Amino acid sequence: QQQVKQSPQSLIVQKGGISIINCAYENTAFDYFPWYQQFPGKGPALLIAIRPDVSEKKEGRFTISFNKSAKQFSLHIMDSQPGDSATYFCAPYWGGGFKTIFGAGTRLFVKA
Amino acid sequence: DAGVTQSPTHLIKTRGQQVTLRCSPKSGHDTVSWYQQALGQGPQFIFQYYEEEERQRGNFPDRFSGHQFPNYSSELNVNALLLGDSALYLCASSVPGQGYEKLFFGSGTQLSVL
């Protein structure tokens, strides 16, 4: 898990604001970069993902920005809603090793 | 179409005991991965099963073992339980892809070791 570092650990955002979560990784062999969302009492669910040949991907209010040279990728949540309150994990995948490595998570709270 | 199902949902054991957790993958999925999630932490990779074989393993001791059956369902066994084994155990299924892995998780088994 030390291969992947997420920041911040927790985040409080006003409704309608922008939430930004960052992820730094060490292993250059990672070849798929997803974000997972987890609600209390549930398992994580895939939210959005990007391949390393693309610098940005947008799906609705969610955007991933990817910087291969800096070995970083980030999740942006536009127009944040109270229903977005959850824990978010970056979880890069290493195809050669058949494993997905999760970050420690960011707890997001969106104030109504 | 049922998603990933895990049983039991909760389990209480004492130190030294053995436990078996079960997982049925999402329909059409042939790969099962197991993760341990301690309170307030991210899931940690235990191992992955594909074609009834352990294909990859994380940094977990041999007390953690598993099995995959011909119908792709899987079991996680933990022997000689320690207090530190208390955690949420998550099962995830997937279909092998070219350079990507989309994991579908169950709701987990909450294991408490007393």
Residues of chain A that touch chain B, judged by Cβ-Cβ distance less than 8 Å: 1, 6, 31-32, 34, 36, 41-46, 49, 51, 89, 91, 93, 95, 97-105
Q: Do B104 and A46 touch (CB under 8 A)?
A: yes
End-to-end CA distance of chain B: 37
Produce one character per residue of A10-46: b if its CB has 16 or more CB atoms within 10 Å, e if not: ebebeeeeebbbbbbbeeeebbbbbbbbbeeeebbeb
Domain ranges of chain B: 5-97+104-113
DSSP string for residues in B38-50: -TTS--EEEEEEE
Q: Report the pLDDT averaged over residues B42-55.
A: 96
Q: Is B94 left (phi over 0), alpha (psi -120 to 50) or beta?
A: beta
A58: closest CA among A77, A44, A82, A45? A77
Q: Report the pLDDT averaged over residues A43-47.
A: 97
pLDDT digits (tens, 9 = 90+) for B63-114: 999 999 999 999 999 999 999 999 999 999 998 777 789 999 999 999 999 9
Distance from CA of A102 to the nearest CA of B (A): 6
Amino acid at B52: E
Q: Do B100 and A104 touch (CB under 8 A)?
A: no
Calculate the average pLDDT of chain A: 95
Segment 72-111 of chain B within 8 Å of chain A by CB: 90, 92, 99-108
Q: Report the pLDDT averaged over residues B7-35.
A: 97
Residue A69 confidence class, pLDDT cut points 50, 70, 90: very high
Structure tokens that stand for A62 in this block: 């969610």
Report CA A57 to chain centroid distance, whole Å.
Answer: 12
C-alpha–C-alpha distance, residues A95 and A29, integer Å: 8
Nearest to A102 among B4, B42, B102 (CB): B42
Nearest to B48 among A31, A98, A104 (CB): A98
| Residue recorded with tokens 């955690």 | B87
Produce one character per residue of B64-89: b if its CB has 16 or more CB atoms within 10 Å, e if not: bbbebeeebbbbbebeebeeebbbbb
| Residue recorded with tokens 């974000």 | A35
DSSP string for residues in B53-93: EEEEE-S--TTEEEEE-TTS-EEEEE-S--GGG-EEEEEEE
Domain ranges of chain A: 4-111
| Topology (CATH) of A4-111 | Immunoglobulin-like (2.60.40)
B10 touches chain A (CB under 8 A): no
Distance from CA of B82 to the nearest CA of A (A): 21
A72: closest CA among A6, A14, A19? A6
For domain B5-97+104-113, the CATH architecture is Sandwich (2.60)
B19: closest CA among B91, B68, B89? B89
Nearest to A1 among B44, B99, B108 (CB): B44
